[in-house]
Amino acid sequence: MLENLTALPADKILALMAKYKEDPRTDKVDLGVGVYKDASGNTPVMRAVKEAERRILADQTSKAYTGLAGDPAFGTAMRELVLADSVPAERVAAVATPGGTGAIRQALELIKMAAPDATVWLSNPTWPNHPSIIKYLGMKMAEYRYFDEETRGVDFDGLMADLDGIAAGDVVLLHGCCHNPTGANLTLDQMDQVIAKLQAKGAVPLVDIAYQGFGDGLDADAVATRRIASSFDNVLIAASCSKNFGVYRERTGILMAVAKDADQKALAQQTLAYLNRQNYSFPPDHGARVVTTILTDPELRADWEAELEETRNGMLALRQQLADELKRLTNSDRFNFLADHRGMFSRLGTSPEKVEQLRAEHGIYMVGDSRMNIAGLNAKTVPILAKAIVDAGI
């Protein structure tokens, strides 16, 4: 049987991670996988997470199963965090999932069940696992333009023109904030125009929000998602806790389905629970319990929000430092987009050959499409990266 397998293409982000590990150079710089790192290159366990874990360890009396949708308290806490009061709770079905990827996978499975002929539209570019899972599930897929290679901002005219091609019932995947891989984001005014277009076309939005709190702030980053949620009968929202709670390996995420009314919500809830059962039965609980503990305890929540703000401001400072350094070295404003981008990533906008040159000559690792993890930098490595960018003639 196993001889029938054929080698699969490696995930480019994970392949880069392995390559970095093998590199013996001590001054190498990892700007690959989207994991937050502090100034010493560590990915710390957040203070509130440590304290929540301590409490859970002390108080937990059972590891018996929760429910197929996970602990309902997690669903409530996450709905409030992401959606606030934009949609009534009676319209929101929710299941805990193994990370944001699990939420995306379950969302796509739900779409496959409910709308097997729908085409799923993705920004070009998008997180590479989006098209990978869609392809794996044998679903129809199309792309809309997103990134302007010249300005390194959003190609809004291209995006709107391409969305003219969507058919009624198609699904359009939108990044809630902090676009991965580009770092370029729609303004709220542009998002309103996208919403109007999707409404006119009868499309269903699927929002991937994996970096809430990494861009402009916890609430500011959710505004677009909330507007989308309140503008349609049906919206799917995949939210990840990996980054903003730093619980990557705990696999903590949620899929929410905004339904037209309470009856439709009940049907969606039952279907989501069924999908969990088919794929892995009960979702992981530990990370979800940590998140719920933090979100429902005012003291822990305040500490978590404060640490998340430190993280966010640290990334903004690195962005500014890099843009300033490149301005100084090139005597031009052409790298200012780095300070305008938001979230963990920026797409530098250069060729795979130049990216390889940065790796080979300077030990600087970024994804082949020139996506850089800004959080992989620190005050000392910013000037090194800036000089390498200039030396490589980018």
Residues that bind ligand LMR (CB under 6 A): 13, 33-34, 127, 180
Q: Which is nearer to ligand LMR, 33 or 114 (CB)?
A: 33
The verdict on whether 304 is a catalytic residue reads no
Nearest residue to ligand LMR, scored by beta-carbon proximity: 34
Q: For the CB of residue 91, give the shortest distance to ligand LMR in the complex, in Å.
A: 29
Pairing of strands 235-240, 204-209: parallel
Given the complex with ligand LMR, which of 20 and 231 has the nearer CB atom? 20
Q: How far is the CB of 189 from ligand LMR (least distance, A)?
A: 27
What single-letter DSSP state applies at residue 139? -
* Alpha-carbon distances of 268 from 132, 203, 235, 255, 265, rounded to whole Å: 25, 18, 11, 11, 5
CA–CA distance, 253 with 230 (Å, rounded to integer): 21
Q: Give dist(CA 92, CA 89) in Å, integer.
A: 5
Task: State which residue, 17 or 273, has the beta carbon closest to ligand LMR.
Answer: 17
Catalytic residue among 94, 118, 127, 388: 127
Q: Are 386 and 330 in contact (CB under 8 A)?
A: no
Rg (CA), the chain: 21
Residue 157 annotated to the active site: no
From the list 208, 221, 285, 369, the catalytic residue is 208
Which position among 103, 107, 118, 210 bears the catalytic label?
Answer: 210
Nearest approach, Cβ of residue 129 and ligand LMR (Å): 6
Q: Supply 209's token pair.
A: 């929000």
DSSP assignment of 207-264 equals EEE--TTSSS-TTGGGHHHHHHHTT-S-EEEEEE-TTTS--GGG--EEEEEE-SSHHH
Pick between residue 132 and residue 351 the one whose CB is nearest to ligand LMR.
Answer: 132
Burial 259-273 (b: 16+ CB within 10 A, else e): beeeebbeebbebbb
Candidate list 52, 103, 155, 243, residue with the active-site label:
243
Q: How far is the CB of 167 from ligand LMR (least distance, A)?
A: 29
**Shortest Cβ distance from residue 33 to ligand LMR (Å)?**
4
- In the bound state with ligand LMR, the residue whose beta carbon lies nearer, of 130 and 152, is 130
Which residues participate in catalysis according to the annotation?
127, 208, 210, 243
